[in-house]
Structure 1
Amino acid sequence: MKDKRQKNISITTTISDSETVNAVQNFKYDQAKIREVLSHMIIVHELPFMFSEYELFNLLMRTATPHYQKVSRTTIKKDCIASYEIEKKKLMATLNDVNRVSVTTDLWKSDQKISYMVVTCHYIDSMGNLQKRNLNFCEVEPPHTGLVICDVLHKCLVSWGIENKIWTISVDNATYNDVVVRMLKENLSYKNKLPLGAKLFHVRCCAHILNLLVQDGLSEIQDVVFNVCESVKYISALELRINMFSEIAKQLQLSSKKLVLDCCTRWNATYYMLSAALEFKDVFPRYQHRDFNYNFLPSEEDWEKVHVVCSFLEEFNEITHIISGTEYPTSNLFLTQLFKIKKMLKNADVGSRSYMVEMVKKMQFKFDKYWGDCNLLISVAAVLDPRNKMKLIEWCFREIYSPGDAIVHVTTIRETLRMLYNEYVEAHKANSEKDASGDTQKEKSSSMNNVNVKGKDKVRAEFTSYIKQVDSIEQVKSELEVYLEEGVVMCEDDTEFDALKWWRMNNLKFRILSKMACDVLAIPITIVASESAFSAGGRVIDPYRASLGVETVQVLLCAEDWLRARHGIKRKAKVSELNLF
């Protein structure tokens, strides 16, 4: 009886010990999971490392989980770095399976007086979806010459193992970028042949070109812009002036809108400033009666110029919204916007206003400088939109070019499409032969291991081999010819149409052409995706975190981009990035 009691006690003790071990293991797992999620929250929401030590945060966590243990800022920083390394490995594995990538890059100087380069990669994932990831946010030491920037950029590409997969590089119109692109093209083409002999390699940012175009036009009324800008600055400088201005606006029962401060580097910021000030044009002279130190009052003639110019630039502002969206559009959408700009400049109602004549003339000159020659990438991308095909090219080019030039440019587009498609056909054949060779080796190995293979299995294997050989041979009529000969796709709501989705749905019919189309449509026509990283950079490197090291800055900003994609968290759209008061 005693032995039996001891045995039961032993069993009970064993079970109790087992439960304790499981509890301890679960506790450790929970703590590790909490720390992982906490590091993600710190990174994605741009919180300071000190957040993990906040008293009320820890009270909240202990309320939710009584066994929660406080995490120090030093530990959470290490956890953030670990999360960065984990996500980096995942991204490298993803990029390893991608055939072609496009890159956008730009420079930014922080309040630390350190120049950073952001490198953003754009590609089509295995599910056929368009993706973008910030690869690097690294320091660029002076001098910022084309050679130095090219070396830093090339080093980034090599570190990610994508130097042989580069399809295009999109940059702004800074002079040094011409040197960067030329040198990078030479470095990359030394070992590998770039598509189309690198004709599509250099992509100029459409948003920057449009900005230059309108800025040149606005220079015709720079004296008016100066007066309005100085008026807004003067009134916004003191709370007393703001209140006085607002009181007059209320007395006149004007809109509750507010004045907008200008940003000299963005033309649409100037447009917002002018259009907002125009609504308060009757307030400014009344304000001057109360403040004799205000000396920048625009005249009635000035306000007339502002009204005419703002009316003219309204459609340009809509185009800027389309091509500068943070959820940037695919490259097939830009030709119609170029066509719209050309048509607006051609049909502008300048009347007898000399300033409008000169303004339109300057804008037309800038348009012809950057887009006067046939823009291959934008045109090729437009053709690969099944709603357009060559019909849109033929229709648009009649407006953009003279009849003789239009024919030449249309022919150039056709020839470019054919050459690019042929390169994809050759690549497809090479891959098919490689796969067939691999299958043959597998079949030989299998036959050696399985001597008694049934006859019907051998026949099936021979037939499969035959199909693969026939399949690798291009048909009499190519997929490109079939695609172009078919009618355009008509849809009731163009805003909901997704060209990439259409190609995914038709990839069995156009196996080679669909791959080419997706690669082309994924090419970014602006560097907005890279520039948006600078907004996050400005928040992360705030006055209270100015001592962050450059490596830590890269960890926080790149990991934020990756983790947002992992958790499906999009940035909230702001009403405006302009300064309002």
Structure 2
Amino acid sequence: MEVKKKLTDWRKDLEVSNCTQIEDNGKGKVDTEIAPPPPPTKRRRTSKVWEMFDKIKREDGTELAICKHCKKQYPGSSKTAGTSNLLKHMGKCAGRRDGDGGKPCDEIKEKRSYKSITRSDPLSVVEKDSSENFGSYSNLKANILHTYRKEKEKLTSFINNPSSGRFNLTINCWRRTDGRNTNCCLTKHFIDNGWELKSKVLAFRRVGFSDNRGLFGTFRSMILDWRNLDKNVFTITAQYTEEAYQIASEIKGWLLDQNLLPLTGTLSHVSCLVHILNLLLEDGSQEVNGLLFNTMKCISYVHNKPDSVIKFRMAVDQARAQGSSVTYEDMPAKGTLISFQKFEGIFRLREAFNMLKIFDLDFNSLNINPEDEEWIKATYIYKHVKVLDEAVKSLSGKQSCLTTNVYFPKVCNIYRSLCEWVKGDNSNVSSMAGKMKKKFDTYWENCGLVLAIAIVLDPRFKLDIVKRWFQEIYGQDDAEEQCVGIEFNLKQIYKEYSGGGSNNLTAYFDTLDPLGMPWSTSCSNDAEDGKSEKSELERYLEEPKFRSVKDFDILTWWRANTPNFPILAKMARDFLAIPVSTAQSNPSFNDDVMKIDPTAIDIDPETTEAFVCVRDWRQRPENKA
């Protein structure tokens, strides 16, 4: 109020100073000119906005108001813009609100975009954040692309680091329900410099029918988009389909033509274990289709007749009185499709349906209840195939991303089971197992060596576990021949790794022996001079095995023993990161990606790929790469 009063008084004085005052000096009235008051001091910027903005004058005379917190610029002249824009900015300044004073707006937006991108529902992120957090989709897009390019540069530097070793890739393809496009995803799996198992989505593209590149061309461009990634590929894991197999074979051929694959590509193509097990489950389901069909008829009959529900409850009570564990809840809801995995609950309905034939003559006359022979056959098959179903669940779960050595006993157990079923007395099971084993033989021939090498690199087991499992699968005589082949290939692989050159190994591990020499150099010199009688591989296999504990951290063991076995450690780092299934890329990733509908929210391909990649990177940060 005091300032306002002074301004009012000064304005009145200014008006009087421009007029003539008539003064009476006793001799009559004369005109007297009053001298103007002294010029006022410089007017202060009294608006509260100047507590938050700095005002500067540029060379061309224009004025700018710069936010002290986020450094955003506005016109600073009151004649052109006033302070309304500045007041609006004060209310929404991210730097001021978040306590990030001094940080540029782009940095603040980037931090917010990180939080937004890691939410569970990709579609809601784009729809909600574009309107609430950033004001428009274009702002969100800019932040996603900025984050993508920044993080991609970090990953590219890691890929090109000589100490990073080789990478294992998975290729995934999904056909959208509309049939118009195919989603293609490329993921790398590796063990980082800190000996931690990691995976990163590298690229995500949609391929339409009109795309001349095709699926192989798309995946090749995805690999080439990452500088020198093609020079560091170790293996490729693909689904067990004709289409995926063709893509993986073409990628393998392309890399072999450039002499980029190690071991002449012998181990480069790994089939998806989960996919082939699901195919075996389908074979099992085919064997019980008749019982499944009749069971569905029984369930529909009960649901469609109100009095049948009452009679069914009476049948359940009677069955329980005779020792059955069936309950009312075992009856599926109306219209529910029964999968093979749900058969365990269906089997308990067997006694209830048998009793229902007594309580309900109409039900009995329809003759839809499966015969006892069908129930026995289905129960016996389910008991066997359940082994495969449990394996699929363990491989597809959230904790499925494990080192490769873990899967050798699991795969061997499945293969042994199939061999036993084929030789069993039950003709139904034997016939079913024969079809299954034929498919699994192909997988075993392609991937058995990879799994065997990985388990040999487990210091708890080494070669002993391979010999024991082969005896279980092949018998004593054939097992010896199979083990000879594994040992031969193991030595050949070791020779290729040890012949990689001392410079490469030194850069890879950067470790010294007790004499202060690089381990790889000293080892190779010893071999040349004849001073070392045994190789690393021989020493490793002959040393006592580590105690066979369940909770064993194999990566920590290899990190500690790298100085003792630098060449084998390089092998371990490559082999233990090989994914046995494309489901290991990210168990929940497939479903999340499929929620994104670019046509509904007008997302261009570049932004879609950046969004999918950044979301994966922010959920699984790579601090050590």
Alignment TM-score > 0.5, same fold = yes
Residue of structure 2 in register with 1:39 after alignment: 113
Residue of structure 2 in register with 1:317 after alignment: 389
Residue of structure 1 in register with 2:91 after alignment: none
Provide the C-alpha distance between the structure 2 equivalents of 1:23 and 1:186, rounded to a whole number of angstroms. Answer: 56
Letter in 2 for 1:160: W
Query: Residue 508 in 1 paired to residue 581 in 2?
Result: no
Residue of structure 1 in register with 2:158 after alignment: 94
**Other structure's SS at 1:537 match:** helix
Work out the percentage of aligned pairs sharing the same amino acid.
Answer: 25
Residue of structure 1 in register with 2:78 after alignment: none
- Whose Rg is larger? 2
Residue of structure 2 in register with 1:124 after alignment: 191
2:581 maps to which of 502, 515, 526: 526
> Post-superposition shift, 1:153?
1.4
Provide the C-alpha distance between the structure 2 equivalents of 1:53 and 1:133, rounded to a whole number of angstroms. Answer: 26
Residue of structure 1 in register with 2:444 after alignment: 371
> Post-superposition shift, 1:244?
9.2
2:207 maps to which of 118, 127, 140: 140
2:504 maps to which of 415, 425, 431: 431
Residue of structure 1 in register with 2:173 after alignment: 107
> Post-superposition shift, 1:276?
2.9
Task: Give the stretch that moved more between structures: 527-536 or 125-134.
Answer: 527-536
- Taking structure 1 as reference, are residues 434 and 303 closer, same or farther at Cα in structure 2, changes over 3 Å only? closer
> Post-superposition shift, 1:557?
2.0
Provide the C-alpha distance between the structure 1 equivalents of 2:295 and 2:108, rounded to a whole number of angstroms. Answer: 53
Residue of structure 2 in register with 1:499 after alignment: 554
> Post-superposition shift, 1:565?
0.6
8 Å CA contact 1:221, 1:355 repeated in 2: no
Provide the C-alpha distance between the structure 2 equivalents of 1:335 and 1:399, rounded to a whole number of angstroms. Answer: 13
Letter in 1 for 2:582: I
Provide the C-alpha distance between the structure 2 equivalents of 1:258 and 1:31, rounded to a whole number of angstroms. Answer: 59
Provide the C-alpha distance between the structure 1 equivalents of 2:471 and 2:339, rounded to a whole number of angstroms. Answer: 33
Q: Output aligned runs, 1:497-576, within 5 Å.
A: 497-530=552-585, 532=587, 533-541=589-597, 545=600, 548-566=603-621
Query: Residue 400 in 1 paired to residue 473 in 2?
Result: yes
Query: Residue 220 in 1 paired to residue 292 in 2?
Result: no
Task: Give the stretch that moved more between structures: 76-85 or 251-260.
Answer: 251-260
Provide the C-alpha distance between the structure 2 equivalents of 1:50 and 1:389, rounded to a whole number of angstroms. Answer: 53
- Taking structure 1 as reference, are residues 284 and 80 closer, same or farther at Cα in structure 2, changes over 3 Å only? farther
Residue of structure 2 in register with 1:340 after alignment: 413
Provide the C-alpha distance between the structure 2 equivalents of 1:137 and 1:71, rounded to a whole number of angstroms. Answer: 27
More helix by share: 1
Residue of structure 1 in register with 2:456 after alignment: 383
> Post-superposition shift, 1:273?
2.3
> Post-superposition shift, 1:429?
1.4
- Taking structure 1 as reference, are residues 388 and 258 closer, same or farther at Cα in structure 2, changes over 3 Å only? farther
- Taking structure 1 as reference, are residues 255 and 308 closer, same or farther at Cα in structure 2, changes over 3 Å only? farther
2:539 maps to which of 482, 493, 496: 482
> Post-superposition shift, 1:70?
6.2
Q: Output aligned runs, 1:79-478, within 5 Å.
A: 79-97=143-161, 98-113=164-179, 114-142=181-209, 148-161=214-227, 162-228=229-295, 254=327, 256=329, 259=332, 270-281=339-350, 297-326=369-398, 327-348=400-421, 353-371=426-444, 375-431=448-504, 470=522, 472-475=524-527, 476=532, 477-478=534-535
**Other structure's SS at 1:500 match:** helix
**Other structure's SS at 2:500 match:** helix
> Post-superposition shift, 1:379?
1.0
> Post-superposition shift, 1:417?
1.5
> Post-superposition shift, 1:34?
5.1
Unpaired runs of at least 5, structure 1: 1-5, 59-68, 436-462, 569-581
Deviations 1:259-284 (A, max 9, x none): 499999xxxx9432222322344566
8 Å CA contact 1:249, 1:280 repeated in 2: no
- Taking structure 1 as reference, are residues 155 and 128 closer, same or farther at Cα in structure 2, changes over 3 Å only? same
> Post-superposition shift, 1:51?
1.1
**Other structure's SS at 2:202 match:** strand
Provide the C-alpha distance between the structure 2 equivalents of 1:262 and 1:514, rounded to a whole number of angstroms. Answer: 56
> Post-superposition shift, 1:316?
2.5
Provide the C-alpha distance between the structure 2 equivalents of 1:112 and 1:339, rounded to a whole number of angstroms. Answer: 39
- Taking structure 1 as reference, are residues 153 and 16 closer, same or farther at Cα in structure 2, changes over 3 Å only? closer
Task: Give the stretch that moved more between structures: 215-224 or 510-519.
Answer: 215-224
Tell me: higher relative CO, structure 1 or 2? Use CA pairs within 8 A at least 6 residues apart: 1
- Taking structure 1 as reference, are residues 144 and 225 closer, same or farther at Cα in structure 2, changes over 3 Å only? farther
Task: Give the stretch that moved more between structures: 357-366 or 294-303.
Answer: 294-303
**Other structure's SS at 1:163 match:** helix
**Other structure's SS at 2:394 match:** helix
Deviations 1:390-449 (A, max 9, x none): 1011111112224443222212211211121122212241436899xxxxxxxxxxxxxx
Note the aligned Cα RMSD (angstroms): 4.5
Q: Structure 2-normalised TM-score?
A: 0.70
> Post-superposition shift, 1:377?
0.7
Deviations 1:179-210 (A, max 9, x none): 33333222212223422111101111122222
Provide the C-alpha distance between the structure 2 equivalents of 1:546 and 1:23, rounded to a whole number of angstroms. Answer: 33
8 Å CA contact 2:240, 2:275 repeated in 1: yes
**Other structure's SS at 1:540 match:** coil
Task: Give the stretch that moved more between structures: 196-205 or 321-330.
Answer: 321-330
Task: Give the stretch that moved more between structures: 524-533 or 508-517.
Answer: 524-533
Provide the C-alpha distance between the structure 2 equivalents of 1:144 and 1:399, rounded to a whole number of angstroms. Answer: 50
Residue of structure 1 in register with 2:128 after alignment: 51
Letter in 2 for 1:322: S
> Post-superposition shift, 1:31?
5.5
Unpaired runs of at least 5, structure 2: 1-40, 56-65, 72-94, 321-325, 509-514
8 Å CA contact 1:381, 1:520 repeated in 2: yes
> Post-superposition shift, 1:32?
4.6
How many residues align? The count is 512
> Post-superposition shift, 1:228?
4.2
